Structure formats: C-alpha cells, structure tokens
Structure 1
Amino acid sequence: MNPDLDLTLQRVIRAPRSRVWDAWTDPALLASWWTPAPTISVVDRLDVRPGGAFVTRMSEDGVDFVPHTDGVFLVVEPGERLVFTNALTSSWHPATPQPVAMSAEIIVGEHADGTDYRVVVRHGDAAARAHHEELGFFEGWGAVTDALAALAEGDAR
C-alpha cells in the first residue's frame, strides 16, 4: 500500500466470507449493491477469472442506462481475493476511463466476527488518487460497502 497513490477501505462484515465472495461473483447479487442507492445497476458481463470481463451499467431512473464499469479481472483467488482494473476494457483495449483509471484489490479474510473486508484502490499518480478522493471515494465506496454488508449479513437478502 502506497499512501501517495492508493485509497483504502476496511471493515468487518458480520457474515461468512463465502457470502461476501458470492456478493462479488454472482451477477444478480452484485447488481443489487454495486452502485450507491438510489442508482440501479445492471451487470452485463461478470466473467470472474483472470482476463475475464467486468462490465456494468447504471441508471438514475431505471430506464436510461449508461456505462459504469468496463474492465477486466487481473487476479482471482477464489474465496479470498479479486483484482480488477478499468485501465483495460473488457475487450482488452487500453482505456482512459472517466473519472479515473484505477486497479482495485478486494480481499476477504477470516475475522472472529465474520469477514475482514479490505479494498485497496490503486492509481497511476498522486493527482489521480487525489482526484478520486475529491470525487467522493470514501462516501461512494463506503455506501456500496454498507449495501454489500447488508446483503451479506442478511438484512437485504
């Protein structure tokens, strides 16, 4: 972790890590929490394997959907770790995603109270990191982590 380039989020989710993993790898479950409410997500492709596509769209009104995520998985360690990037499109072409290019590492580990959930979002330079933080990284990723936790813990299931 490089504090000049990376943003992190960590929390304990009071659910087995298998439920947290499923929320990341099952398209129907991912769609239910991947964007902050009241925005709606649609998962177009979720090929959870190294090199597999990660493509989602989002909508404010449930009618008009716009691109949200178009990336690839780089690392998949089942039940433990996912790494994806939006710096490559799902068709493996270089991308200049808006608002910022990033690689995200999702780590789910054992915790006495459930799952130790950690996110590390890496940026190419300090300016991109600062821009992502200014855009509301902690609020946005925090809100979707709350929704993920509610789902995994059974409140939203």
Structure 2
Amino acid sequence: MDFETLRTTTLDVVRDHQAWAPVITGIIAFCESLAVLSIFVPATVILLGIGALLGAGDIPFVPVMVGAAIGAILGDWVSYEFGRYYKDGAKRIWPLTRYPEMVTKGEDFCRRWGAWGIFVGRFIGPARAVVPLIAGIFLVGRLPFQVANVTSAFVWAFVWLAPGAGVFGFLRA
C-alpha cells in the first residue's frame, strides 16, 4: 500500500466513523512518535487531513487533540524505554544500522539539549523518530523525560490539528 492510499483510506475511515476519530488519531500519533515506525507512516499529512475534517464536520476538536497527544506520549515513552533497556545495543538493531547519521544527529541533539531536547525534538521531523530512543540510551531521567514528553505532546497535537480545524474550530468541545 502506498502513502497516498494509506492517507485517503485513513481519512475516509475518520469521516465515516467520527466517533472513532480520537482513537484513530491516537494510533496515528503513536505510529508517528514510535522510533523507527515513524519513518514508514505518513502521519503528518494524515494529521493535517484529520484537522481539516475537524474544521469541515461535526467532529469535536478537543477529544481528537487529546487522542493525538496520548498516542504521541505513548509512542515516545515506548521508544524511551526501549533505549533505556537496550542502551547502546539499540543502535545496532535494524533499521537504525541503516541510518547511522540520523542516530549521530540524535545523540548530538540529546547531548546539547538534554531533556529540553525531547520537547524541541518532537517538532523536528527526522529528530522526532530517534530523540526519545537516544534519550533512553543516554539515561535521561524518567521524570524530566516525561515532563517534556507530556507537555510537548499536547502542544504538538494542537499545532498539527488546529490549522485544518480553523482558528476557532478547537472551541467546539
């Protein structure tokens, strides 16, 4: 299945099953935030499309935004714990072995920014895929990681969904 087919199918499902929009959006955000899987899922385009559906229809903004944030939180958390568990061994697992430059950039990013890098990294495409994993490898503390993870996930969900929903579309609860 190509990216365009995945995008249109997902948006059709959300349009046809609006009650499931928060769950579907959460799953997409989870895939977007999970290390490695995010490389293969066109989540950004799908999230913008879901935002447009929010603006055009009767789907309330807040539950979908919360669903996206929860999915993003869980995806980063799983990536972080994977890094903590496997430590440097995580860098020797496919597909990270195919993208050593991405891992190196993620390491430099974590060294430079620490836990704050989790927040910033969520908004940088390539970094989003590896920063939580690298933070786990570098043993960034769980509490600072989770504070950055949770706060950035809600801001990120709003940023990706609000433009399509319209300036005031998010006020429909």
Same fold flag (TM > 0.5): no
When the two structures are superposed, what TM-score results if normalisation uses the length of structure 2? Answer: 0.26
TM-score (normalised: structure 1): 0.28
Query: Which structure features the higher share of strand residues?
Result: 1
> Who wins on radius of gyration, i.e. which is larger?
2
